[in-house]
Amino acid sequence: MDEITIPRPDDWHLHLRDGAMLEGVLPFSARDFARAIIMPNLVPPVVTGADARAYRDRIMAALPEGLDFAPLMTLYLTEGTDPDDVARAHASGLVTAVKLYPAGATTNSHSGVRDLAKVMPVLEKMAAIGMPLCIHGEVTDPEVDIFDREARFIDTVLEPLRVRIPELKITLEHVTTSNGVDYVMTATDNLAASITTHHLMINRNAILAGGIKPHYYCLPVAKRESHRLALRKAATSGNPRFFLGTDSAPHVDPLKECACGCAGIFTAINTMACLAHVFEEENALDRLALFASRNGPAWYGMPVNDETMTLHRTTAPAAWPERIETGDGPVTVFDPMVPIHWEVV
Ligand code: DOR
Ligand code: ZN
């Protein structure tokens, strides 16, 4: 196959930031993706319906003319979140989901949840109205090894939560382990997972072997190879519980290339070409549309996009800029470390 046409894809987990960074990165996502779930971890975070409305307006104002893109807003769950505000924002169509960050788990998560008991009224309300909860699934206990934090979260937080509120629809975001894949596959109901492009392409060696490579550092951190292979199997299986969420998370280079670098990999530019490469390697190009274009909308109860995207094989390896310039500074683009012979037409 030298060319593949799929329904225009969506990105079910995206960081767009704000201000000059938003202006710098939005065109790349909007060029390829029709819709994206927009992460709320701004400083300060997007907590209320009013915050989400204002942020959506800023995104639409930054959207270059001629690009067709719908931001699907999320609210950042705090221990002070008002269940009625959440329900109103959902009923009005403004907000698609609520995001749970365990406090301290990742970038700008300090306003997140420390004690799940405190947010039960919000979660119960969401279950009642059919509003999905997107979860950053890592425990934050410093005693727990960073490579075990996802598996530990599933056992000690996610499973008890699902037992307590089985009607709550949960997206386990950016799943990175075979434990996560197995858990989602065997769950009976109301659970799905997004998978990033980079976790399908790199394992932890990319970060640590041959020198420390901050541009491959993200959270949850990439795991060992056996986990990457499990993720590939899940993503390319066509199983409706797995879909694309790029977690494209731009940081300016000085904040990555330093003694305490930020987590996040910027993949908005080359995600679709990289995915075509991965799916071809797995002999699953015919299932790329399920992962990138169909399973996500089915899970979120939305129509598949009418427009299409065509990718074709290139003779020379596809090329991207090494970094893009934004008004906030340079942002390095994800380097997949292998030649990619696909491009979006
Ligand atoms: O790598 C990451 N970057 N993981 C997250 O959970 C947050 C994100 C960010 O906002 O930079
Ligand atoms: Zn993220």
Q: What is the pLDDT of residues 3-33, one digit of tens each?
A: 999 999 999 999 999 999 999 999 999 999 9
> pTM value?
0.98
Closest residue to atom 7 of ligand 1, CA basis = 107
pLDDT digits (tens, 9 = 90+) for 129-185: 999 999 999 999 999 999 999 999 999 999 999 999 999 999 999 999 999 999 999
Domains and CATH numbers, the chain: 3-344 (3.20.20.140)
All residues at 6 or more sequence positions from 207 whose CB lies less than 8 Å from its CB, including other chains: 213, 216, 217, 221, 222
pLDDT digits (tens, 9 = 90+) for 32-84: 999 999 999 999 999 999 999 999 999 999 999 999 999 999 999 999 999 99
Closest residue to atom 4 of ligand 1, CA basis = 219
CA 174, CA 244: separation in Å to the nearest integer? 9
Whether the per-residue pLDDT at 96 is higher than 90: the answer is: yes
Does residue 136's CB lie within 6 angstroms of at least one atom of ligand 1?
yes
C-alpha 250 to ligand 1 mean position (Å) = 9
CA 71, CA 138: separation in Å to the nearest integer? 26
Q: C-alpha distances in angstroms, 212 versus 158, 215, 275?
A: 32, 9, 25
Q: Over the chain, what is the mean pLDDT?
A: 97
Question: CB 89: neighbour CB atoms within 10 A?
Answer: 23
CA 309, CA 277: separation in Å to the nearest integer? 15
Ligand 1 probe mutation, 17, 22, 41, 199, most atoms within 8 A of CB: 41
Backbone angles phi and psi of 312, in degrees to 5: -130, 160
Does residue 134's CB lie within 6 angstroms of at least one atom of ligand 1?
no
> How many helices (H) and strands (E) are present in the chain, helices listed first?
14, 13
Does residue 17's CB lie within 6 angstroms of at least one atom of ligand 1?
no
Whether the per-residue pLDDT at 2 is higher than 90: the answer is: yes
Does residue 219's CB lie within 6 angstroms of at least one atom of ligand 1?
yes
The residues carrying an active-site annotation are 247
Whether the per-residue pLDDT at 105 is higher than 90: the answer is: no
pLDDT digits (tens, 9 = 90+) for 280-328: 999 999 999 999 999 999 999 999 999 999 999 999 999 999 999 999 9
C-alpha 137 to ligand 2 mean position (Å) = 11
Shortest-distance ligand to the CA of residue 36: 2
Does residue 249's CB lie within 6 angstroms of at least one atom of ligand 1?
yes
C-alpha 101 to ligand 2 mean position (Å) = 10
Is the distance from CB of 58 to CB of 86 less than 8 angstroms? no
Q: Tokens 């683009």 appear where?
A: 333
